[in-house]
Amino acid sequence: MNPELAALADRYWDLLMEAGPTSATLLGDHRFDDRLEDPSREEEDRLIAALDAVVAQAEAIDPGSLDADEVVTREALRFEAGSQAEHFRSRYAEFLVDPMIGPHIELLTYVPQLTPVTSGHAAAFVAKASKVGAAFDAAVDRLREGVAGGRTPPRAAVEKVLGQLDAYLASPVEKDPFLSIQPAADMSPDDVATWRADMQRQVEDVVRPAFARYRAAIAGEVLPVARPQEKSGICWLADGEEVYRRAVRRYTSLDLDPGEVHQIGLDGIAALEDEYCDLGGRVLGTTDLAEIYRRLREDPALRFENAAQVKAQAEASLARADAATPEWFGVLPRTPCILAEVPEVGAEDAPLAFYLPPAADGSRPGMFFVNTTQPTTRTRYESEALAFHEGVPGHHFQLALAQEMESLPAFRRHALATAYVEGWALYCERLADEMGLYSGDLERMGMLSFDSWRYGRLVVDTGIHALGWSRQQAIDYLAANSPQAPNNIQNEVDRYIGWPGQALAYKIGQIEILRLRAEARRMLGPAFDIKGFHDTVLTCGPVPLGVLGDLVRKWAAG
């Protein structure tokens, strides 16, 4: 690779890993195991300046001096560093009290996944625990800045976070996430005993008191001034329009007008009606759309009875997908995908499922987390689409394969091109139908339900953050235009409120991947090869959608 570009790519990756030490550890990079994320304004300012410098240096490199793959690296670097800098400019830390992406829930979710390979790593995790107090105190300082400047979080999010913090503080100390970390293989029994005692002291003296101070500040200083539910969107902040513009660009990688996105969602919801009626007549004995939605939402026979059933159907779906993928993909990941249950604390406010990529050092496989809480509210018909999205061939194929592309710079293997990442996973829900993976028409109904959900996201996210919709208005829209269960609708709406723009990535990305596939098919005619298309999309690593389009057209032309 061009030496200047290679050095810049490495410097950008080191910057990301240093700024996100927990993420670094989860990826198998143990250089920063003893550190914790720093939410302070000083760190934020430092990162903005450093990221701006990366963009400027990338733009200064003459693309004419680069080969085709280096041009992709340059464009991906400009987008990744630039969108990260813009994100920090929005100063989310001033109002980040959120049940899904807040600092407390990230600790509770990801700390148990930390895997020490050596005794040195294990000791570093004790040092990490010792920094929780300073990190939470810095987070409180940022929230106080937000309160002083009138940039406060929505009340619904604050109330949920307080419930999560109360649940954590009421849980037994021995179940603390830091005490869930397993010792390294090279530690003797005496070493393990000493290490566990050291970690328990940090939990009792630092971690739990820090959570308690964080809870007290949120309850006493943030909750009284939190935005009411009718002003849930960031458009109600003084700089909300600019903040949302940055978010749309970051998560879709495209320059899109929120009004245009809103209309795409409305049109997509309407276009699904015929498919619902066709399947509804065969599965439910009715072609009335409202009745189909009601049956899917309310019929207890369409729900699981217990957590074991939720887990078993997810396992069976993954096994079926694993068996079928060699016929549709030329390149398969070496790393397996395993199933795990969402941790108990925070599970009631968590999504139906999520995926955690494997550690680059091989210490942890790809993990498909399924939410087994309240199983009688979880629908049988959506379980399979969920597994194909989060597991195989969705996120696992994409993210595990990207990690295995050793010829790519590290930042490209782990890039945050959300529309590519989530667009691919949503594409796989429909692809699974082509592959014959759904076990019946009822389960294919889950594919339609999820399509309603993702089109609805375009409507609701823009409605909340650009058009000023209330939380209840968003809930009512999804209830009227999808068969999603009420508890899932409320959790999802709260997710969109706390994570502006991210929900747009799914459907926008899927639409673009399907468009590129159709374009390649037109270009190639009978010579079109689905394996070749999939390999082209998956072996470039996560990239902005414009770059992906160039790569697909180049493949088809070649």
Per-residue pLDDT of the chain (558 residues; tens, 9 = 90+): 899 999 999 999 999 999 999 999 988 899 999 999 999 999 999 999 999 999 999 999 999 999 999 999 999 999 999 999 999 999 999 999 999 999 999 999 899 989 999 999 999 999 999 999 999 999 999 999 999 999 999 999 999 999 999 999 999 999 999 999 999 999 999 999 999 999 999 999 999 999 999 999 999 999 999 999 999 999 999 999 999 999 999 999 999 999 999 999 999 999 999 999 999 999 999 999 999 999 999 999 999 999 999 999 999 999 999 999 999 999 999 999 999 988 776 677 667 788 988 887 777 899 999 999 889 888 999 999 999 999 999 999 999 999 999 899 999 998 989 999 999 999 999 999 999 999 999 999 999 999 999 999 999 999 999 999 999 999 999 999 999 888 889 989 999 999 999 999 999 999 999 999 999 999 999 999 999 999 999 999 999 999 999 999 999 998
Residue with tokens 């003893």: 34
Q: Please identify, among 481, 496, 511, the residue that sits at the C-terminal boundary of a domain.
A: 511
- Determine, yes or no, domain membership for 553: no
> Do 206 and 285 fall within a single domain?
no
Q: How far is the C-alpha of 39 from the C-alpha of 42, rounded, in Å? A: 8
> 25, 114 in Cβ contact below 8 A?
yes
Tell me the two tokens of residue 548.
Answer: 């992906």
Q: In what order do the strands lie in the sheet with 337-341?
A: 337-341, 366-370, 353-356
- Determine, yes or no, domain membership for 24: yes
Q: Please identify, among 183, 204, 230, the residue that sits at the C-terminal boundary of a domain.
A: 230
The domain tally of the chain equals 2
Give residue 122's domain range.
3-230
Residue 349 confidence (pLDDT): 64
Residue 385 confidence (pLDDT): 97
Q: How far is the C-alpha of 422 from the C-alpha of 394, rounded, in Å? A: 9
- Determine, yes or no, domain membership for 519: no
- The helix (run of H) or strand (run of E) holding residue 454 is helix 441-465
Torsion angle defined by CA atoms of residues 502, 504, 507 and 512, in that order, rounded to the nearest 10 degrees: -100
Tell me the two tokens of residue 199.
Answer: 């970690």
> Do 47 and 187 fall within a single domain?
yes
> Do 198 and 302 fall within a single domain?
no
- Determine, yes or no, domain membership for 10: yes
pTM assigned to the model: 0.90
Which residues lie closer than 8 Å to 222 by C-beta, 6 or more apart? Answer: 97, 143, 147, 152, 153, 158
Residue 1 confidence (pLDDT): 87
Residue 360 confidence (pLDDT): 76
> Do 224 and 86 fall within a single domain?
yes
Instruction: Answer whether the bond into residue 3 is a cis peptide, omega within 30°.
Output: no
Residue 359 confidence (pLDDT): 81
> Do 180 and 246 fall within a single domain?
no
- Determine, yes or no, domain membership for 235: no
> Do 195 and 326 fall within a single domain?
no
- Determine, yes or no, domain membership for 354: yes
> Do 225 and 245 fall within a single domain?
no
> Do 219 and 274 fall within a single domain?
no
Q: How far is the C-alpha of 68 from the C-alpha of 12, rounded, in Å? A: 21
> Do 326 and 438 fall within a single domain?
yes
- Determine, yes or no, domain membership for 469: yes
Quick count: other Cβ atoms within 10 Å of Cβ 407? 9
Residue 27 confidence (pLDDT): 85
Q: How far is the C-alpha of 20 from the C-alpha of 34, rounded, in Å? A: 12
> Do 226 and 245 fall within a single domain?
no
Quick one: how far is CA 530 from the chain centroid? 27
Quick one: how far is CA 417 from the chain centroid? 11
> 71, 59 in Cβ contact below 8 A?
no
- Determine, yes or no, domain membership for 552: no
> Do 139 and 286 fall within a single domain?
no
> Do 304 and 252 fall within a single domain?
yes
Q: Please identify, among 206, 230, 254, the residue that sits at the C-terminal boundary of a domain.
A: 230
